[in-house]
Structure 1
Amino acid sequence: MSTATPRQAAPFASTGWSLGDIAVRRIDEIELPRQTGPWLLPAATKEVLDEASWLRPDFADAEVPRLASHSFAVEAGGLRIVVDTGIGNAKPRANPAWNGLDTDFLERLTAAGFPPESVDLVITTHLHTDHVGWNTRLAGEEWIPTFPNARYLTSRTEWDHWAATDLDEARTQMFRDSVHPVRDAGQYDPVDVPDQGREVAPGVLLVPAPGHTPGQVAVELRGSDRRALISGDSIHHPVQLSHPHIHSCVDTDPAQAVRTRARLLDTLADTDALLLGTHFPQPTAGTVRRENGRYRLLAEPGVEIAATVA
C-alpha cells in the first residue's frame, strides 16, 4: 500500500514576516500526523496542555500537540537562503508518514520566489531525516542536489558527530540519499560555530543549540527593524514554553536540551523578537512573554509576501 501524500490542489501562498531589511517566509511541506505529538513529546499530556489554555486551538487539539514540517526561505543581503529542507519526496523511510512522499514543496518554494537554481545558501540546523530531505531530488535513479548553485552549511560539531557514529540502516539510508550526494558534489560545508555564534550571511547567524543533537544550531536573523530566531528542534512545540523541561524522545542529551531551551527563551522573553518554530503549526511564529513564572507565545501570524523576481 502506498504511503505517499497526494499533491494538494490548494493555491500557492507564501506566508512571511518582514524584519526590515530581512524577509522570512514559511514554505509548507506537510502537517505531521496526529500521533506524532504523543510519540515525540510523551510528557505533553492532555493535563499538561490544559495548563496552558493559549495553546488551543492553534497549537493543540483537545488531547495532543499539533506539529508540522516546513522550511523557512530567507532573503538577506541580496541572498536567497533556505533553512532546513524537510522530509523530501520519494525518499524510502522507515516512518510510514514520511515514506515516499509526493508533495508540492518545490512548487511552493518556487512560487515564493525561490526557484531551486536561485538559492545561494542552505542551512541545516541538524542532520535529522526531517530536516535534510529536500537537500536532494531524484533524477532518473540518482539523487542529486536540489539546489545546484547553493553552499550547504551545518555545524562542524554536528558533521563530526554523525561521521563518528555507528548508524542504523534507516539513518544510513538518509545519509545515502540526502547528505552524501551533496557532499560528493562538493557543496556541503561544515563550519565552526563558536559560543557567540557565526555570521554566515548579512544579519544571519548560526547560534549553538545543542542537546537535541550535539551540534544543532538555531538561526538568528538580525533585521534592521527586529530580530527573529528559527528554533530548529531546540523547541519542537510551544508547549515547551510553558513547560521547558519537556524534552523530545529523540534528544541525544535531554538535560542539555532543557538548558539550551531555557537559555534561548530567556533571550527572547519580553522583547519584540520573533520565535519561528521549525515544527510549530500555523501560525508558526510569535513573541515570547513571561507569565506567572512561565513563558507563553503571543502568536503573530505572517502576511502574504509577494514573490521577488529570481
Structure 2
Amino acid sequence: MTQESAQRMVVGDVEVIRVVEWQGPFATVGELVPSAGRETWKDNEDWLAPDHWDPESDRAVMALQTWVLRSGGRTILVDTGVGNGRERPGSPQFHHWQGDFLGILERAGVRPEDVDVVVNTHLHADHVGWNTRAEGREWVPTFPRAEYLVPAADDAHFGPDNAYGGGRDRADRFVYEDSVAPLHRAGRTVLWDGVHRIDEHLTLESAPGHTPGSAVLRLASAGERAVFVGDLLHSPVQILDPAHNSCFCLDARGAAVSRRRILERAADERELVVPAHFGGSGFAEVRREGSGFGLVRRGASVRR
C-alpha cells in the first residue's frame, strides 16, 4: 500500500502538517522489535491492525513521513525522509528510491525556499535524505534558506573522523557524504548538544540511545503539548513496554532509558507523542499504567 497525503492539526498556536510520502507493511514484527513476543501483537490485534500491523504478512505497518511546523512565523521541517537516487546498499526498499516528496510538500503549501529550519532528529538514512538534492554531479541543500539543526554527537559518530559510524554499516558513509557533508560545505549546519531552543514554542533535547545524538523536539504552546520522538518509537508495543528496542537501536540500554524517560514525561504532562514512523493517525496519547504505560484508546482495550 502506498499513500501520499498531507494532514493538518493545530497544537496551541502551532500548525502541524503531516506529510506522508509512503505508508505500508515494512519489516516483520520479529525483525523490527525482536524482544516483543508474538503474543503481544496477537493480544492487541484489535487495535494494532491494520494501522500498525498486517497480521497476514506479520509485518509492521509504518510510514515514511515528515512533520512540518508553522511556529512564530517560521516553517520548520522535522526529518526529511529517504531522498531520491541514493546509494543505500543493504536497504533494497531505499536503494535508488524515487518518490515525489517535494511535490507532496508543495501541494501542502511548502516550497523549498519557504523552509526556515530543518531538524534532523538523528542521522539515519530515512531521516536526512531530502536534506539535499542532486544538482549535476553535486549534492546541494534542498532548502536553500534553511539552517539545518544536526545533533553534534551524531555528526561526530557518523562523520569521517569516526570512520563513518565506525564502519558498522557501509551505507553510513554514503548517507553522511550525500546528505550531511554538503550542508557543512554550504555553511548551513548548526551542531547542537544537550538542549537547543528554536523559538518560544519549540525546544530540542538530547535523548541518546537509538543513535548517540538522537533527539526529541518538544512543542509547548497555549497550554497544549506534543513531543516529536523520532525513532525512540517504531511501534506502539514499545509504549506498552519501553524495554523493547527496535533492531536499529545502536545502544539498547541507553535507548530504553531515554524511551522510558520521554514516556514518563509525556504521560505526566499530557504531551501528544509523535513518532517518526507510526501509521494510522501518526501519533499516540500515553498514560501511566502500573510500572509501565498504556495508550489512551477510544473504545478499544490495550493489553500489555
Which residues of 2 match residues 132-147 of structure 1 at below 5 A?
A: 132-147=128-143
Give the Å deviation of 1:46.
Answer: 2.4
Separation in 2 of the partners of 1:79 and 1:259?
A: 33
Contact 1:28 1:71 (8 Å CA) reproduced: yes
| Counterpart residue number, 2:81 | 86
Distance in structure 2 (CA, Å) of the matches to 1:255 and 1:91: 31
1:27 equivalent in structure 2: 19
How far is the alpha carbon of 1:269 from its aligned partner? 1.2
- Secondary structure of 1:158's partner? helix
Q: Which residue of 2 aligns with 1:120?
A: 116
Q: Measure how far apart 1:156 and its partner are.
A: 1.8
Report what 1:230 is aligned to.
Answer: 228
The answer (yes or no) to whether the contact 2:288–2:294 under 8 Å persists in 1 is yes
Counterpart of 1:102 in structure 2 is: 98
TM-score, length basis structure 2: 0.88
Structure 1 partner of 2:154: 158
1:297 matched to 2:292 = no
Runs of 5+ consecutive residues of structure 2 not aligned to the other structure: 299-304
Contact 1:247 1:254 in 2 (8 A): yes
Q: 1:112 to 1:36 in 2, by over 3 A?
A: farther
Residue 162 of structure 2 aligns with an amino acid whose one-letter code is T
Shift of 1:208: 1.4
Deviations 1:271-299 (A, max 9, x none): 53211110111211121123455323336
How far 1:270 sits from its partner (Å)?
Answer: 5.5
Counterpart selection for 1:39 from 31, 37, 49: 31
- Gaps spanning 5+ residues in structure 1: where? 301-310
**SS of 2:203's equivalent?**
strand
**Partner SS for 1:65:** strand
Aligned residues: 289
Instruction: Give the whole-Å Cα distance in 2 for the aligned partners of 1:298 and 1:57.
Output: 17
Q: 2:302 corresponds to which residue?
A: none
Shift of 1:20: 1.9
TM-superposition CA deviations, 1:132-173 (whole Å, max 9, x none): 000011122221110000000112222222234223432111
The alignment's TM-score, normalised by the length of structure 1, stands at: 0.86
Q: Matched residue of 2:208: which SS?
A: coil
Q: Aligned residue for 1:200?
A: 198
Q: Do structure 1's residue 66 and structure 2's residue 64 form an aligned pair? A: no
Residue 249 of structure 1, CA deviation: 1.9
Cα distance in 2, alignment partners of residues 77 and 291 from structure 1: 36
Greater strand percent: which structure? 2
Q: Is the 8 A contact 2:5 2:20 kept in 1?
A: no
SS in 1 for 2:70: strand
Q: Which residue type is aligned with residue 217 of structure 1?
A: A
The Cα of 1:61 is off from its aligned counterpart by: 2.1
What residue number does 1:269 align with? 267
CA RMSD of aligned residues (A): 2.1
Verify the 8 A CA contact 1:45 1:64 in the aligned structure 2. Answer: no
**Residue deviations 1:200-223 (CA, integer Å, cap 9, x gap):** 223111011100111111111112
The residue type equivalent to 2:73 in the other structure is G
- Report the Cα distance in structure 1 between the residues aligned to 2:186 and 2:217, rounded to whole angstroms: 25
> Secondary structure, in 3 states, of the residue corresponding to 2:277?
coil
Instruction: State which drifts further: 139-148 or 163-172.
Output: 163-172
Q: Is 1:16 paired with 2:13?
A: no
Where in structure 1 do 4 or more consecutive aligned residues deviate above 3 Å?
51-54, 291-294
Aligned match of 1:220? 218
- Higher relative CO (CA 8 A, sep ≥ 6), structure 1 or 2? 1
Question: Could you say if the C-alpha distance between residues 34 and 13 of structure 1 is closer, same or farther in structure 2, counting changes exceeding 3 Å?
Answer: closer
| Contact 1:158/1:213 (<8 A) preserved | yes
Question: What residue number does 1:181 align with?
Answer: 182
